[in-house]
Amino acid sequence: MALAAEAKRVAAEFELTDNDIRKTVAEFVAEMAAGLAQDGTAMSQIPTYVTGVPNGTEKGLYLAVDLGGTNFRVCSIQLNGDTTFNLVQSKVAIPKELMVAKTAKELFAFLAKQIEVFLRTHHNDHFEKQLRRRQTVSTPEGYRDEHIFRLGFTFSFPVKQVGINRGNLIRWTKGFNIQDAVGKDVCQLLQEEIDLLKLPVKVAALVNDTVGTLMARSYTSPGKTSTLLGAIFGTGTNGAYVEKLSKITKSMKGDYDKSTGEMVVNTEWGSFDNGLKVLPNTEYDAQLDRDSVNPGIQMFEKRISGMFLGEILRIALVSIMKRPDVPLFRDDNSSHNDYRSTTTVDETSPLHTQWAVDSSILSIAEADNSVGLRALRQQIETSLGVSAASIDDARAVKEIAHAIAERAARLSGAAVAAIVIHTGRLNPGASSAPQPKSAAAIVEDLKNFNLAEAASATTNKLADTAGMAVNEEEIVDIGVDGSLVEFYPGYEDYMRAAMRAVPEIGAVGERKIRIGIAKDGSGVGAALIALVAAKMEQSNNYVGDLRQRLESVGESSEEQAIVVEK
């Protein structure tokens, strides 16, 4: 079979129709509702105890650390109180052996050590002063607690949170696997190692990266609209959104402030539809899952995020290479190559090794629209270990990579659509708007959806909305972060196309959804939550409405919130 035809056939296996998207959204809304009602559901819907979002006036200097993927970041953040911030950071790759260490201690001792190195490098004066203070005063009560560095811990794995700085690990994801840590309080694990090094640091807040992204976007986002959702499309994927307290009907152990009527919920949508009721499941997906450290878990994430897309591509390419009748990466195609004619797949090619193909090749393939696909062929050489790939080879890689990424983006769009629909945020002036529909009603509507009618309605609406200005109050603001959404060309456009296919959103609704990158969400967001936690400790009161309460923090922040003297 000709290579081009085979590439087309494989690419078609990744196609998701508009109808698939609608089914996905319906199931997503149903699983969101289930997760709010009880523990132990696939989508965990974890209450975060964060009951307000910031408005940009918050001030102070905080520490934040971020463990969530390939790197460990330590940073200090100066919140300037005018929606801006300054950030100093250091980043270190997490040694692979620590991701699968025997004991949690091995990993957390390494993290504490990095915090020490950061403090010595960037805040040495303050650090030394604190150490002296600790050494010369005999009782812990003797040194003033407010001079301890407050640290926000962004820990981007599913954690059952039981307070603003307490939470037990539910399971590892993204290739981490340290059984000893499962069920333990990750803040305590970190605090113990910090204390062993005698660092003047208190783990004040536990934050998922999506919650940090939501907070950071809210702090920096333009206009008066508060942010609804923070979402990550990077090594892993997940979203956290602002939920009505009345909808969280499962029991919540820790204390929290009820006055805002809201709480941020970490969906852990990576495990949406682990039962594969609606998700696509190609032979490549099935193989990836079978050979992963957590088969049957994180099934949504395994079709979306950067940790997995390169591996899906690898599996698909290898399956073609095994076919004697399809010439992929063989000399048959390269005889009319412009530079070399012998195509060689290196013995050590990443194509032969599980997880060895980096997802960045998908972005490069999408971005290269040149006639000779030079950049992509170069990348095939460096990332896939195939020298002198032919232009036909490159075209095949491009087509399959595109299909894998477009499917990921459309599924991402379905998740965003479901959150927007579930929260009823598209209705302007939320308080006066009609009550959002129940999950069951939304699911029913989506099932009864008439394709032909909707297609014409959508076309009409598209025409209607061309040039239509959206009022600031109508905007639904969403903060996103992660390598896929940031670097994959057109990722947001594919997400938006999926959202338009859902009748409850359509072309009109899609225009009201503003998606903005929230860079450094995990640092700034963690700092913001650490700020709230510090405030809470002082007043012995739980998280209040940041929008009101932090105005007063803003005013007296020089004294109250700046915990590191410059």
Can you list the alpha helix ranges (DSSP code H) found in 385-480?
A: 391-423, 439-447, 451-465
Quote the DSSP letter at residue 471: P
Name the residue nearer to ligand BGC (CB basis): 343 or 359: 359
With beta carbons less than 8 A apart as the criterion, state whether 184 and 170 touch.
no
With beta carbons less than 8 A apart as the criterion, state whether 21 and 498 touch.
yes
Of the candidates 45, 78, 210, 458, which one interacts with ligand BGC according to CB under 6 A? Answer: 210
Within 8 A by CB and 6+ apart from 176, the residues are 99, 100, 157
Token pair listed for 298: 């994180």
Of the candidates 20, 66, 301, 510, which one interacts with ligand BGC according to CB under 6 A? Answer: 301
Name the residue nearer to ligand BGC (CB basis): 483 or 560: 483
d(CA 54, CA 31): 28
By CB under 6 A, the residues from 180 to 199 that bind ligand BGC are none
Q: Least distance from C-beta 70 to ligand BGC, angstroms?
A: 11
**Could you list the active site residues?**
73, 156, 209
Name the residue nearer to ligand BGC (CB basis): 305 or 343: 305
Can you tell me whether residue 372 is helix, strand or coil?
coil
Q: Least distance from C-beta 118 to ligand BGC, angstroms?
A: 21
By CB under 6 A, the residues from 236 to 255 that bind ligand BGC are 236-238
Name the residue nearer to ligand BGC (CB basis): 437 or 519: 519
Q: Which residue has the tokens 């250091």?
A: 90
Of the candidates 185, 209, 289, 477, which one interacts with ligand BGC according to CB under 6 A? Answer: 209
- Give Cα separations from 21 to 95, 216, 503, 509 (angstroms): 38, 29, 11, 16
- Interaction between residue 443 and ligand BGC (CB under 6 A): no
Q: Least distance from C-beta 235 to ligand BGC, angstroms?
A: 6
- Interaction between residue 157 and ligand BGC (CB under 6 A): yes
Of the candidates 123, 150, 174, 511, which one interacts with ligand BGC according to CB under 6 A? Answer: 174
Window 67-86: contact mask with ligand BGC (x via CB under 6 A): -x------------------
Q: Least distance from C-beta 130 to ligand BGC, angstroms?
A: 32
Q: Which residue has the tokens 């919130």?
A: 561
Of the candidates 41, 76, 78, 208, which one interacts with ligand BGC according to CB under 6 A? Answer: 208
Count of residues binding ligand BGC (CB under 6 A)?
17
With beta carbons less than 8 A apart as the criterion, state whether 513 and 421 touch.
no
With CB atoms as reference, the residue minimizing the distance to ligand BGC is 236
Within 8 A by CB and 6+ apart from 333, the residues are 3, 327, 343, 390, 391, 392, 393
d(CA 323, CA 560): 68
Q: Least distance from C-beta 269 to ligand BGC, angstroms?
A: 9
User: 264 pairs with which residues across the strands?
Assistant: 242
User: 454 pairs with which residues across the strands?
Assistant: none
- Give Cα separations from 214 to 57, 242, 513 (angstroms): 16, 9, 15
Secondary element (H or E) of residue 11:
helix 3-12
Q: Select the span of 50-58, 231-239, 249-257, 556-564 touching ligand BGC (CB under 6 A).
A: 231-239
Name the residue nearer to ligand BGC (CB basis): 152 or 270: 270
Q: Least distance from C-beta 530 to ligand BGC, angstroms?
A: 18
Q: Select the span of 28-36, 229-237, 289-297, 543-551 touching ligand BGC (CB under 6 A).
A: 229-237
Can you tell me whether residue 384 is helix, strand or coil?
helix
Name the residue nearer to ligand BGC (CB basis): 156 or 292: 156
d(CA 319, CA 550): 57
d(CA 108, CA 380): 37
Name the residue nearer to ligand BGC (CB basis): 56 or 68: 68
Can you tell me whether residue 302 is helix, strand or coil?
helix
- Interaction between residue 158 and ligand BGC (CB under 6 A): yes
Query: What is the b/e burial string over 225-242, where b = at least 16 CB atoms within 10 angstroms of the residue's CB?
Result: bbbbbbbbbbbbbbbbbb
Of the candidates 51, 114, 173, 292, which one interacts with ligand BGC according to CB under 6 A? Answer: 173
User: 63 pairs with which residues across the strands?
Assistant: 76, 151
By CB under 6 A, the residues from 10 to 69 that bind ligand BGC are 68
Name the residue nearer to ligand BGC (CB basis): 43 or 115: 43
Of the candidates 18, 193, 268, 477, which one interacts with ligand BGC according to CB under 6 A? Answer: 268
d(CA 361, CA 286): 22
Q: Least distance from C-beta 275 to ligand BGC, angstroms?
A: 18
Name the residue nearer to ligand BGC (CB basis): 58 or 268: 268
Q: Least distance from C-beta 9 to ligand BGC, angstroms?
A: 31
With beta carbons less than 8 A apart as the criterion, state whether 65 and 111 touch.
yes
User: 361 pairs with which residues across the strands?
Assistant: none
Q: Least distance from C-beta 489 to ligand BGC, angstroms?
A: 21
By CB under 6 A, the residues from 537 to 566 that bind ligand BGC are none
**Residues engaged in binding ligand BGC (CB under 6 A):** 68, 156-158, 173-174, 208-210, 232, 234, 236-238, 268, 270, 301
